[in-house]
Structure 1
Amino acid sequence: MSTMKNTYFYLLPITILLLVSCSPNPKYIRNSGFTQGTTYHFIYKSPKGEDFQKELEVELEKFNQSLSNYHPTSIISRMNHDDTSVMADLLFEACFMKAMEISAITGGAFDLTVGPLVNAWGFGFEDAQKVDSKTIDSLMQYVGYHKIKLENGRLIKNNPNIKVDVNAIAQGFAVDVISQWLEEKQIENYMVEIGGELRVKGINDKGTLWQIGIDKPIDGSSETDRELQNIVSLDNMSLSTSGNYRKFYEKEGIKYSHTIDPKTGYPVQHNLLSASVAAIDCMTADAFATAFMVLGLEKSIELANKLDYLEVYFIYSDSTSQYRVYASEGFQKMITE
């Protein structure tokens, strides 16, 4: 009997530039660590030079206790296991309502109930299954955002086997939560990044707008050999990038994308390689970046043109496998090189 080997690749699709200047401003505090199965980096100008890392990690833990599928006692985990005593808190409610809004706008391309499919393909919080058409068909009955609702603080599911998965929106929401906390401390210059989702305000320690590099979608590229497609300057904005080229697995020589189409149950196969979305709040940017990777290039451009609160940057491959870029008018103005 042969042994199947799965190889996973996880790298952030953006590069944060100017994290360390030659002469660091002493009032700019730098925090880094781990949360939600990934890394975080916070940089902020603290008026009194205070380092808030401990307090910020407390906020991150509160967030995880509400929305982490990896915490067995979190609100979302208990809801997924049909604990009838659990009630949604404000974090869960805000995340759920935004997710349902974006699900409706994208026609179900974004879907909180895609979790069983994500797990089956090996990208979720459970072990991968042996996937075939029968497996997918059996799981599709549990997929569909219209099959769940929040009523008086309780999650109502059409079927108890439905699982809610907020991984495609939670990191962006966590960025917003931390950003709001900093603003409540009268901090007006900051960069908050969790797992590649980020939000900035004001200026960096060199007195310029925060600059972010968008990576070229090169399979197998590493931290040392990654190449930048473009650099953008962000002014009080959030940025989220989703791409299939750095989060996939190989099984018996076949690459499987981590982006699962909720309507088919299968990993997407199209020429859109990377979707970057800029918006005021990171939760919105995060969810739409995922939805666009499901929709593909043409449908994503069509939808983005209807939403004046988004700016988009798509990297795709043409018929000759060359990289091409589509950038909305507003996003073009943010590109510095």
Structure 2
Amino acid sequence: MYAYILKRLLLMLPTLFGVICITFCVIQFVPGGPVEQVIAEMQGKGARGGEAAASGGAYRGRQGVDPKQVEEIKKIYGFDKPAPERFWQMIGQFARFDLGRSFLHNKSVWALIKEKLPVSMSLGLWTFFFVYLISIPLGILKAVRAGSRFDTASTFIVLLGHAVPSFVLGVVLLVLFGGGSFVQWFPFRGLVSSNWEELSLLGRITDYLWHITLPVTAMVLGSFAVTTLLTKNSVLEEIHKQYVLTARAKGLGEGQVLWRHVFRNALIPIMTGFPAAFIGAFFTGSLLIETLFSLDGLGLLSYESVIRRDYPVVLGSLFLFTLIGLFTTLIRDLAYLWVDPRVRFD
């Protein structure tokens, strides 16, 4: 097992390097980089006394801009160096876990991620816990009562929730309960109220839960189907195996057969994905949900960084999330040993 772990750790290095290399190369051919955007803003401010005119503020390349000024802008953003030199300089920074500094926010990428992380953690962790707490018992109950009206009705409901996009459901919830055309039981923006610091501990908890209810509901309802149906199918598969028939022949009750024999084996495919899902929940960023409910999280940060060509944020967050993804994949594979001791990596 230790040889397997060492091999997987060594394979992470070329994988991580390849992801960063491909992304960096693609970025070099994307038009409208930070230098071009600054030049376009300068040209726009030069029209009509500081405001862009309807036609005069359009981007005209580097026409009318002093070449020395262009070189100064390039130097500020580090584009005065050749691409290979910038790439290896970036790799050296990443090796020291220095993710760079944002062009747009003038902050370190680490500081930006820490600043946006609470919103994404709130969405991801609540969604994760509700999905697992409801889907697994529901899947077991569906397997036990397979073919019944309850099984058919619950399957229809979870598949309907899976078919409706989360942002559409979010709009419906806002219209119904967020001050739309009906009632305003919940706030429609922000993670906490503006006077949150002045509230008591109980008031803060209540205010936070009040704000997070609608966005978490929108994300949760569409996430039940996969885990629920996977649990149901796993339990059904185990129920029809020979060892279950043997346990019943020995006189064990259905409850003992289900919980002592079927339950553990059926949850192997569910529990092996649990570590990756749990760690991934900390970094879940939903752009549409965050935009809809005015939540400033990692999803909105990633989208804004791509649109505004904030390359340090794009590459730094990609490096961090890829590294986390590689480690969680390794943890998921090692979880097989904990759930099923019969697994051998050789």
Q: Do they superpose with TM above 0.5?
A: no
TM range (shorter): under 0.3
Q: TM-score by structure 1 length?
A: 0.22
Q: Of Structure 1 and Structure 2, which has the larger fraction of its residues in strand?
A: 1
User: Which of the pair has the greater relative contact order for Cα pairs under 8 Å at 6+ separation?
Assistant: 2
Q: TM-score by structure 2 length?
A: 0.22
